[in-house]
């Protein structure tokens, strides 16, 4: 196996799904490892140092939310994609706030899942362990674009890749409305097929971190009928 082969860790207890996903990802040229419990997933995430983690929420033992937050305490940069039958908005928001970068609900299209994985690998920095300091200031928050983290006061929060990428897009056009379609194209690309609601969930996550009152935002503003803008 050459060093440029990407490694995916599947944390999933459905054996048939693991076999199917393993076949699909290996056909695409990825190296795949699997763990069928939350505890084993945490262990393998540390020992394997995978390039991407695909995580179910309903696992025996430690549930997926706790797996995600546990991994994030040690590793703030490895992308985590939740793949779950839990499709309620509060589950999606909880998953994102646990540290996930993306969320796909079951049943799903293998084509869409592969597209999202390719989109993640296109966009992650090649040197993800480097010490960088590209920063965005939003109110009292300071967001590091390279480590996907936000610092407010003495508290650091893991934002994940996509939330950080959305904020980066808004910052590049600070003060101007940016449509949801423009955000989708810039962050995911046209083949990954997320929905506008996906963006709204990430905006909610961002507001809970950077806004003093997320219900009355002063920095990440909704422009009705258009999209969002980052205030000057």
Q: What is the mean pLDDT of the chain?
A: 87
Place of tokens 């490892």: 33
Edge-to-edge strand list for the sheet holding 220-223: 178-179, 227-230, 220-223
Q: State the alpha helices, DSSP H only, in 75-158.
A: 89-97, 110-123
Banded pLDDT at 41 (limits 50, 70, 90): very high
120-129 tens-digit pLDDT: 887 765 544 4
Q: How far apart are CA 183 and CA 101, in angstroms?
A: 15
What pLDDT is attached to residue 191? Answer: 59
- Say what the pTM is: 0.70
Q: Say what the pLDDT of residue 17 is.
A: 94
- pLDDT of residue 151 exceeding 60, the answer is yes
Name the 3-class secondary structure at 228: strand
Mean pLDDT on 134-163: 88
Position 45 confidence tier, pLDDT thresholds 50, 70, 90: very high
Q: Which domains does the chain have, with CATH numbers?
A: 7-123 (3.40.50.2300), 135-230 (1.10.10.10)
Which string of b and e fits 154-186 if b means at least 16 CB within 10 Å?
A: eeebbbbbbbbbbbbbbeeeeeebbebeebbee
For residue 38 the two structure tokens come to 């939350």
Above 80 in pLDDT, residue 213?
yes
Q: Which tens digit of pLDDT belongs to each residue from 94-144?
A: 888 888 888 888 888 888 888 888 878 877 655 444 444 588 999 999 999
**In whole angstroms, what is the distance from residue 78 CA to residue 68 CA?**
11
């Amino acid at each position: 196996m050459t060093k440029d082969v990407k490694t995916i860790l599947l944390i999933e207890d459905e054996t048939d799904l693991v076999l199917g996903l393993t076949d699909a990802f290996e056909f695409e040229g990825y190296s795949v490892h699997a763990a069928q419990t939350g505890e084993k997933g945490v262990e393998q995430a540390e020992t394997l140092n995978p390039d991407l983690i695909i995580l179910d929420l309903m696992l025996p033992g430690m549930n997926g939310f706790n797996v995600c937050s546990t991994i994030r305490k040690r590793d703030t940069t490895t992308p985590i994609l939740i793949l779950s039958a839990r499709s309620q908005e509060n589950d999606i928001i909880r998953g994102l706030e646990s540290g996930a970068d993306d969320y796909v609900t079951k049943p799903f299209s293998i084509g869409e899942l592969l597209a999202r994985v390719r989109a993640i690998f296109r966009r992650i920095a090649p040197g993800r362990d480097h010490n960088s300091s590209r920063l965005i200031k939003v109110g009292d928050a300071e967001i590091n674009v390279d480590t996907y983290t936000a610092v407010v006061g003495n508290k650091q929060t893991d934002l994940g890749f996509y939330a950080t990428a959305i904020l980066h897009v808004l910052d590049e056009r600070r003060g101007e409305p940016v449509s949801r379609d423009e955000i989708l194209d810039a962050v995911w690309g046209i083949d990954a097929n997320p929905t506008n609601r996906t963006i709204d969930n990430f905006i909610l996550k961002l507001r809970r971190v950077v806004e003093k009152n997320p219900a009355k935002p002063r920095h990440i503003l909704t422009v009705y009928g258009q999209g969002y803008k980052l205030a000057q």
